[in-house]
Amino acid sequence: MGQRHTHETRSDIDAPLLAALIAEQSSLVAYATQILHDRAAAEDVVQEVVLKLCEEPAADLRGGRRIEAPLPYLRRMVRNAAIDWARRTLRERCRFVPDDQAEAVPAPCTCPQDHLEQCQALKAVLAALETTSERTRRVFLAHRIDGIPQTVLARENGVSPTLVNFMIRDGTALCRSAAS
């Protein structure tokens, strides 16, 4: 048989714990405020503790043992919840920029149409480079992609620096015409 689930507050909350919670709510909020330095967040933390106690009785939380000192137990729960809240907030601050700076964050990629057009242009450029000689393609890519100086490329290929300059100029012109 299945358990019955209700939306009502559980009635099996430890009575001394509930009494301490009601009587000391403002001091528990003040205690959480000391940790968080934010009263609104402290109130939320205390509310989380209340909800946790309503969802799972203290006897279940303590492994079936009775709570002998309800106030210290509640303070410890509030302290732990406040520390968890502070850690979570710190993680969120590290991952996200403030709202007033959100506009300055670059988009991870441009619109899909622009991305598609750029991919098509790159494919056209690579196809155009395939129509040149192996030496011109190698010299052009070594200079433009790897940043190797023209004099070094001339020496490695056994040609004049002027010829290397012309190969790079021709490769650049070819790529520009293919991309447009």
Residues near 73 by Cβ (< 8 Å), separated by ≥ 6? 17, 58, 67
What does the buried/exposed string (b/e) look like for 134-154 if buried means 16 or more CB atoms within 10 Å of the residue's CB? Answer: eebbebbebbeeeeeebeebb
pLDDT in tens, 128-158: 889 999 998 899 989 988 888 989 999 998 9
pLDDT-based confidence at residue 62 (cuts at 50, 70, 90): low
Q: How far is CA 27 from the centre of its chain?
A: 36
Q: Calculate helix-pair angle for 15-23, 25-36, nearest 10 degrees.
A: 70
Residue with tokens 């899909």: 112
Cα of 16 vs its chain's centroid, Å: 43
- Using an 8 Å Cβ cutoff, are 14 and 70 in contact? yes
- Encode pLDDT of 73-109 as tens digits: 999 999 999 999 999 988 887 777 666 666 776 666 6
Over residues 49-78, the mean pLDDT reads 77
By residue count, the chain amounts to 180
pLDDT score recorded for residue 6: 46
Mean pLDDT, all residues of the chain: 82
